[in-house]
Amino acid sequence: MTAVRIDGKELALKVRAEVAEDVRAFGQPVCLATLLVGDDPASHVYVGSKHKASHEAGIDSRDHRFPSETPETEILELVADLNADDSVDGILVQLPLPDHMDEPTVLRAVDPDKDVDGFHVLNAGRLYLGEPFLVPATPLGIMAMLDEYDVELKGKDAVVIGRSEIVGKPMAMLLLAEHATVTICHSRTVDLATHTRRADILVAAVGREGLVTPDMVKPGATVVDVAMNRTAEGKLVGDVDPAVFEVAGLMTPVPGGVGPMTIAMLLRNTLTAAQHRRSQVAVGGS
Ligand code: NAP
């Protein structure tokens, strides 16, 4: 068996075109502000891509970049200003922040209504309670891919490897909401393969090249590889051995799978935040 390749690049283009159309129909300016602290080259590339994608979708963007030694108080002041600025709909704090900053403190300072990354404790709680509002873009993009490829979730065994706040936990919540039977694996899981072999849907979000090998995958399973690992030669690879393509039924490639969908869903979240806030302003003002 050779798995069908889940084309995240193509679906992301479709979602981005839909968001652009919806932004036009919305008829009001939509604005995303990003904050980047430090000189991590990958973060600068990611933020640049987010601005380019915003521009293409008709979303205005503001780009705030700071040197790594910037005090946390300065960042918190900017977050407070952006929270209060009615023309800003979405605020994205690019991670990682430098070591002298406390990431939860900065993320929790963002107005939950403008929290387009869905990392705020209130948005995490809404997802947990089955009332999702702004959901982290990576798992949201994965759900859109599973839907596009008609992957049945109800009653299926889903295994998520990784339990981060950004990917693993929200991924598990979204799969659970669709009535999958969900197992979350992590670094202390004993005998990972016994879990993964049961999975109808396997999501790998660890950051370790070659973690998932063909013998760990149920034939015909849907395999989603979230990871973005750099080899010594600078090549981008996932957690899943490419040989798994010969066992799985559907599988995302790296690159060209989950990555492009993340940016597309960030744009979708930014429009959702704008629509939500402006409808509240309209209600409040009537
Ligand atoms: P993270 O915060 O470092 O979390 C990694 C998770 O993997 C942790 O829960 C850890 O367990 C678990 N883990 C580590 N070693 C393991 C092992 N041997 N077996 C099973 N589980 C193990 O990473 P993240 O932010 O979730 O990101 C995961 C990967 O996805 C990274 O490669 C990242 O670059 C990529 N990513 C991609 C996108 C995208 O758009 N494509 C977006 C976000 C992240 P413990 O909790 O026990 O430590």
**Which tens digit of pLDDT belongs to each residue from 115-138?**
999 999 999 999 999 999 999 999
43 lines ligand 1 (CB under 6 A): no
Taking CA atoms, 188 is separated from 38, 163, 185, 192, 270, in Å, by 32, 11, 8, 9, 36
Residue 286: exposed, middle, or buried by beta-carbon count in 10 A (0-12, 13-18, 19+)? exposed
161 lines ligand 1 (CB under 6 A): yes
pLDDT-based confidence at 284, cuts 50/70/90? Answer: low
- Give the Cα separation of 107 and 144 in Å (integer): 25
- Give the Cα separation of 12 and 253 in Å (integer): 14
Preceding peptide of 255 cis, ω within 30°? yes
**Distance from Cα 217 to the centre of ligand 1, integer Å:** 19
Residue 144 backbone phi and psi in degrees, to 5 = -65, -35
Catalytic, 94? Answer yes
- Give the Cα separation of 241 and 232 in Å (integer): 16
pLDDT above 70 covers what percent of the chain?
98
| Residue 109 CB neighbours (<10 A) | 19
CA 33 to chain centre: 17
196-216 per-position pLDDT tens digit? 999 999 999 999 999 999 999
**Distance from Cα 34 to the centre of ligand 1, integer Å:** 23
* Contact of 270 with 89, CB cutoff 8 Å: yes
149-164 per-position pLDDT tens digit? 999 999 999 999 999 9
Catalytic, 218? Answer no
160 lines ligand 1 (CB under 6 A): no
17-35 per-position pLDDT tens digit? 999 999 999 999 999 999 9
Single-letter amino acid, residue 189 = T
Closest residue by CA, ligand 1 atom 8: 162
